[in-house]
């Protein structure tokens, strides 16, 4: 297996050319210099459509990847800007990370999965990131998930409840699917207006399919 193929596999990147991998003597980090393949260059970071190049942006930047044992790994690449007809001047998309993220896709997905299995404080220690970073990653991953899956599909029997947070001073209204056991919706608040936003999102046609509410 060639070194470039090996590093792409280890880094978990696709449509990416690995130019070099070096150890940063000052930080002790492993830094992989990468660039998108020709088919992925000059695309809008928001919509991924090919656009004219605008400028070089702020130069090269880094994205945190999953650690290799105790060694942190970062991807480094140029971050040019493109001019999109819809989104204006914006940083070009890269195949290894979500738009406006400082972490790779694999890193984001790992943190999001951990958020479903353990506490946020445990994630900060294990992944060596800040508490606020965990929340930002969850928001990015969920935004992508919503585009791929319809969480309201086949919804007929639901349960509605509220939970408190911030030491009981604030509340979330939660809706679960009794058939699958999944949480399908949640929002801050505990009043009628909060619940109405769920049925607004569900829509009149799918609301009519609800047969049981507990």
Q: What is the pLDDT of residues 50-107, one digit of tens each?
A: 999 999 999 999 999 999 888 999 999 999 999 999 999 999 999 999 999 999 999 9
Query: Do 132 and 204 belong to one domain?
Result: no
Task: Report pTM.
Answer: 0.77
pLDDT of residue 1: 42
112 shares a domain with 70: no
Residues 97 and 114 occupy one common structural domain: no
Q: Which residue range forms the structural domain that includes residue 195?
A: 157-213
- DSSP letter at 190 equals -
Residue 117 in 3-state DSSP? coil
133/203 same-domain check: no
The residue out of 94, 124, 149 marking a domain boundary is 149
Angstrom distance (rounded) from CA 164 to CA 58: 43
- The tens digit of pLDDT for each residue in 1-40 reads 457 788 888 898 999 999 999 998 888 899 999 999 999 9
Number of domain units in the chain: 3
User: Looking at the structure, do residues 96 and 190 belong to the same domain, yes or no?
Assistant: no
82 and 18 part of one domain: yes
* Same domain (yes/no): 38, 91: yes
Q: What is the largest CA-CA distance in the chain?
A: 63
**Same structural domain, 163 and 191:** yes
Q: How many CB atoms lie within 10 A of CB 111?
A: 24
What's the pLDDT tens digit per position in 101-150?
999 999 999 999 999 899 889 999 999 999 999 999 999 998 888 777 77
In this prediction, residue 192 carries a pLDDT of 86
Contact between 124 and 130 (Cβ < 8 Å): yes
């Amino acid at each position: 297996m060639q070194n470039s193929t090996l590093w792409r596999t280890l880094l978990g990147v696709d449509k990416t050319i690995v130019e070099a991998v070096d150890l940063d003597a000052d930080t002790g980090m492993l830094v992989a210099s990468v660039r998108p393949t020709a088919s992925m260059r000059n695309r809008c970071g928001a919509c991924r459509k090919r656009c004219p190049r605008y400028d070089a942006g702020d130069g090269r930047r880094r994205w945190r990847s999953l650690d290799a044992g105790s060694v942190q790994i970062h991807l480094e690449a140029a971050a040019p800007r493109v001019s999109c007809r819809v989104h204006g001047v914006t940083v070009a998309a890269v195949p290894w990370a979500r738009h406006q993220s400082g972490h790779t896709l694999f890193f984001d997905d790992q943190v999001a999965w951990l958020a479903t299995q353990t506490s946020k404080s445990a994630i900060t220690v294990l992944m060596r990131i800040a508490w606020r970073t965990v929340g930002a990653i969850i928001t990015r991953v969920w935004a992508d998930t919503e585009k791929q899956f319809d969480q309201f599909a086949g919804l007929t029997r639901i349960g509605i409840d509220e939970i408190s947070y911030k030491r009981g001073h604030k509340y979330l209204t939660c809706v679960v699917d009794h058939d699958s056991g999944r949480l399908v919706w949640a929002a801050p608040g505990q009043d009628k207006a909060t619940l109405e936003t769920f049925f607004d999102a569900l829509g009149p046609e799918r609301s009519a399919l609800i047969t049981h509410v507990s």
